[in-house]
């Protein structure tokens, strides 16, 4: 495991902290650049991190898109506490997996996929975690988060080089 602990994958609208892992600011990359192995080698450590980060974020966004199609409560959720929101989302995931496993034909999985979203330094926040982000915005915690992100980026960089 690269880093101990848990953190939220957030977009660039958030401050990078030990609990909120954000992409590198002002480090742009183009998805086409990562379509071949040769062009990936020219990318910087930060570009590689942002690319993998964006791929992970796209999977999360796609999954929430699927869940919102199936469970309307996720599109119209009232402002419950963070714990209640977490429990509702977890229940939706469990029910979704159950339906997917035992349903012979599931229209959610036969719908066409959406296109991949390219990461941009001007992304807006897509979650309701902004209030919690305020609790972790102290300077020391930002430095800790930056060191954690740098550690992860270096591990990705070294893995790609070998």
Element (H, E) at 8: strand 8-9
Nearest-angstrom CA–CA distance, 90 and 97:
11
Nearest-angstrom CA–CA distance, 162 and 154:
12
Q: What are phi and psi of 135, to 5 degrees?
A: -65, -25
Query: What's residue 131's pLDDT?
Result: 44
Model confidence band, residue 37 (pLDDT cutoffs 50, 70, 90): low
Nearest-angstrom CA–CA distance, 128 and 151:
27
Q: Write down the residue that tokens 């062009």 correspond to.
A: 39
pTM score, two decimals? 0.62
**Torsion over CA: 97, 98, 104, 108 (sign):** negative
Q: Rounded mean pLDDT of the chain?
A: 76
Which residues fall within 8 angstroms of residue 124, CB to CB, at 6 or more apart? 11, 13
Contact 126, 61 (CB under 8 A): yes
Tokens of 77: 């959720």
Query: What's residue 103's pLDDT?
Result: 81
Q: pLDDT, tens digit, for every residue of 100-131?
A: 888 877 777 666 555 444 443 333 333 334 44
Q: pLDDT, tens digit, for every residue of 59-98?
A: 888 888 888 988 988 888 788 888 998 899 899 999 998 9
Nearest-angstrom CA–CA distance, 110 and 125:
29
């Amino acid at each position: 495991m690269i880093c101990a602990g848990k953190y939220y994958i957030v977009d660039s609208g958030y401050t990078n902290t030990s609990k909120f892992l954000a992409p590198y600011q002002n480090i742009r990359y183009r998805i086409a650049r990562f379509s071949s192995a040769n062009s990936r080698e020219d990318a910087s450590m930060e570009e590689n991190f942002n690319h993998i980060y964006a791929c992970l974020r796209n999977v999360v966004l796609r999954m929430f898109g699927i869940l919102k199609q199936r469970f309307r409560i996720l599109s119209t959720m009232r402002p419950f506490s963070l714990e209640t929101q977490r429990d509702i989302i977890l229940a939706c995931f469990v029910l979704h997996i159950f339906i997917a496993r035992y349903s012979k034909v599931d229209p959610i999985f036969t719908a066409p996929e959406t296109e991949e979203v390219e990461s941009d330094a001007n992304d807006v926040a897509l979650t309701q975690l902004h209030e919690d982000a305020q609790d972790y915005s102290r300077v020391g915690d930002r430095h800790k988060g930056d060191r954690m992100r740098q550690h992860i980026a270096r591990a990705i960089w070294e893995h790609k080089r070998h």
